[in-house]
A and B are shown apart, each in its own frame.
Chain A
Amino acid sequence: MPEHTIGTREEWQAARKELAKLEADQAQRNEEVKQKRLALPWVQVEKEYEFDTEEGKKTLAELFDGRSQLLAYNVMFGPDYTLGACPGCSSLADGLDGSLVHLNHRDVTLMCFSRAPIERLAAYKQRMGWEFPYVSTYNTEFAFDFGLALTEEQAQAIPEVREMTENPPDWLEEWSGQVGADLKDGLRENPSWIAFARENGTVYHTYTVSAPDPFVAPYFSFLAERTPKPQPDEPRTWRKDEYPD
């Protein structure tokens, strides 16, 4: 007999109904937050940035690829990572291609950014079999201006980052090995979503959300939340071609 509570169908139904009320409450709260998110002011991007893409240099406006909205995920893959991007970010990115064509037809260009040079991003993208555009913010101030990366000084000034660097938990030490970078460098990348709008030739920054917001988690974690057994507390992740068995 499993240790979990076993019930009749009627007991389950009653408990499920109670849960459904809470799920509906949460959906309602989510609706309110969404409205507020849409109401945030847009901020004009006045600085010029030039990015390395698979198709050569592009400005921020050019990254929109003719659409009016740009939504990008900033994958932790800094210039110091010798073994590839963060496995958790890679798992999140695995989930994007399924939405790519649908968002493109909703006037949204979906892509990923990282700070490593474009050649390394292109090679990693090929290894992972991704379709979405992958853009390098190497040699631009973009990532620092928008809070997607920390300078060495900034990183050291944050007590939590310093503590994680000096006394890392086991899973974080493993992570450092997975990406092939010291934590003092590895933790300078900020896993985040960032959104921009383009209207009449002007680009506006509209939204950023960073870890630990659950939106910055691989999509399978939302599915795993519906499975019967609890997920491990430690955020160990693997690239899809590196699972232990």
Chain B
Amino acid sequence: MAEHRIGTQEQWQAERNELLKEEKQLTRLSDELAAKRSRLPWVPVEKVYRFESERGTAGLADLFDGRSQLLVYHFMFGPSYEAGCPVCSSIADTLAVQVPHLGARDTTLMLASRGPLAKLLDYRKRMGWEIDWVSSEGSDFNRDIGFMHTEEELQPFLEGEIPATVVQNAEMCGTTVGGYVAEGPGLSAYTLADGVVYRTYVSSARGLEFAMPYYALLDRTPKGRDEHPGTPVWLRRHDEYGSSVAV
């Protein structure tokens, strides 16, 4: 007998119908949020940022690649990393396949990191992703939207008790804890109108969960996420499951 509560088809259906009402409320809430999100003011990006891309040095406007919208995933791969963050890697696994679908919807989706371009491209090859990746090394692009932290800012965190998952991830990236957490994950959105680039949306931390579709899938399985505080993160790079933690 399963440990879970077992019911008849009728019981399930009755409870499912009740839950559906709540799921529908949640949908309406999401629709309202999306509407509010699209009403955020646009802010002109006046500072000049330089990126290293496969096609040479580029400005922010160049990254749109002929489209009017740009979505950048800020992938944690800092200058001191030997390999990309495993969690960001799982996110990129799911983002890369969306490039053609968003491209056809006037939206360029890409990755940006502070690590040097050559390291990023080597790692991309290993992971087999088909998505553009630019290096913002030496530019304030990440810093200006809060996705890069200085040693001074990190001092209180580094002097406290470091969560096991952070230690594990830093080790998997071949860097120190300080080097690892200097980078922040995030998503930023831009639009290009009459030659001016506007920043429209930025999200990070828990606000990035939509970028982890495997969690939304797990949320529909019988056992759910089954994650408990204090246990190490289960996510691995897609080619490192079953192996011990290694770069």
Hey, which bits of chain A sit against chain B, CB under 8 A? 1-2, 4-9, 11-12, 15-16, 19-20, 22-27, 29-30, 32-34, 36-44, 68-69, 71, 91, 94-95, 97-99, 101-103, 105-108, 110, 193, 195-197, 199-200, 202, 204-209, 213-215, 218-220, 222-231, 238, 240, 243-245
> Are B107 and A23 closer than 8 Å at their CB atoms?
no
Interface residues of A, dominant DSSP: mixed
- Residues from chain B with Cβ under 8 Å of A25 in the complex: 29
Question: Which of chain A's residues has its CB closest to B12's CB?
Answer: A43
Interface members, chain B 77-108 (any A CB < 8 Å): 90, 93-98, 100-102, 104-107
One of B36, B107, B211, B219 near A37 (C-beta < 8 A): B219
One of B3, B22, B42, B102 near A223 (C-beta < 8 A): B102
Within the assembled complex, what's the spacing in Å between the Cα atoms of A87 and B29? 27
> Are A206 and B222 closer than 8 Å at their CB atoms?
yes
> Are B101 and A43 closer than 8 Å at their CB atoms?
no
Q: Is B48 an interface residue (CB 8 A)?
A: no
18 A–B contact pairs at CB < 8 A? A11-B41, A12-B40, A12-B199, A16-B202, A25-B29, A30-B26, A33-B23, A95-B97, A95-B98, A98-B94, A106-B214, A108-B218, A204-B2, A213-B27, A218-B101, A219-B94, A226-B189, A227-B71
- Residues from chain A with Cβ under 8 Å of B34 in the complex: 225
Shortest Cβ distance from residue A242 to the other chain B in the assembled complex, whole angstroms: 10
Interface members, chain B 1-50 (any A CB < 8 Å): 1-9, 11-12, 15-16, 19, 22-27, 29-30, 32-34, 36-44
Interface members, chain B 208-232 (any A CB < 8 Å): 209-211, 213-214, 216-224, 226
Within the assembled complex, what's the spacing in Å between the Cα atoms of A15 and B43? 12
Q: Is B152 an interface residue (CB 8 A)?
A: no
Interface size on B, residues (CB 8 A): 86
> Given known contacts A37-B19, A214-B27, what 16 new A-B pairs fall within 8 Å (CB)?
A2-B193, A6-B43, A19-B40, A26-B33, A30-B26, A40-B12, A95-B94, A105-B236, A110-B217, A206-B222, A219-B94, A223-B98, A226-B187, A227-B69, A227-B200, A228-B200
One of A42, A229, A238 near B222 (C-beta < 8 A): A42
Shortest Cβ distance from residue B42 to the other chain A in the assembled complex, whole angstroms: 5
Question: Which of chain A's residues has its CB closest to B70's CB?
Answer: A227
One of A103, A215, A220, A230 near B98 (C-beta < 8 A): A220
> Are B105 and A106 closer than 8 Å at their CB atoms?
no
> Are B6 and A42 closer than 8 Å at their CB atoms?
yes
Question: Which of chain B's residues has its CB closest to A26's CB?
Answer: B29
Shortest Cβ distance from residue B165 to the other chain A in the assembled complex, whole angstroms: 16
Question: Which of chain B's residues has its CB closest to A101's CB?
Answer: B238
- Residues from chain A with Cβ under 8 Å of B94 in the complex: 95, 98-99, 219
Q: Is B163 an interface residue (CB 8 A)?
A: no
One of B23, B26, B90, B201 near A226 (C-beta < 8 A): B201
Hey, which bits of chain B sit against chain A, CB under 8 A? 1-9, 11-12, 15-16, 19, 22-27, 29-30, 32-34, 36-44, 68-69, 71, 90, 93-98, 100-102, 104-107, 109, 187, 189-191, 193-194, 198-203, 206-207, 209-211, 213-214, 216-224, 226, 234-236, 238, 241
A-B contact count (CB 8 A): 250
Within the assembled complex, what's the spacing in Å between the Cα atoms of A169 and B104? 22
> Are A22 and B36 closer than 8 Å at their CB atoms?
yes
> Are A6 and B213 closer than 8 Å at their CB atoms?
no
- Residues from chain A with Cβ under 8 Å of B2 in the complex: 42, 197, 199-200, 202, 204
Within the assembled complex, what's the spacing in Å between the Cα atoms of A5 and B26? 28
Within the assembled complex, what's the spacing in Å between the Cα atoms of A43 and B16? 12
Within the assembled complex, what's the spacing in Å between the Cα atoms of A91 and B104? 12
Within the assembled complex, what's the spacing in Å between the Cα atoms of A91 and B241? 27
Within the assembled complex, what's the spacing in Å between the Cα atoms of A207 and B219? 11
Given contacts A208-B16, A240-B101, contact A27 B216 (CB under 8 A): no
- Residues from chain A with Cβ under 8 Å of B218 in the complex: 103, 106, 108
Shortest Cβ distance from residue A24 to the other chain B in the assembled complex, whole angstroms: 8
- Residues from chain B with Cβ under 8 Å of A106 in the complex: 214, 218, 226, 234
Shortest Cβ-Cβ A-B pairs, 9 listed: A41-B7, A7-B41, A98-B94, A197-B222, A99-B214, A228-B200, A98-B93, A228-B191, A199-B2
Shortest Cβ distance from residue B107 to the other chain A in the assembled complex, whole angstroms: 5
Within the assembled complex, what's the spacing in Å between the Cα atoms of A73 and B100? 21
- Residues from chain B with Cβ under 8 Å of A6 in the complex: 41-44, 198
> Are A197 and B98 closer than 8 Å at their CB atoms?
no
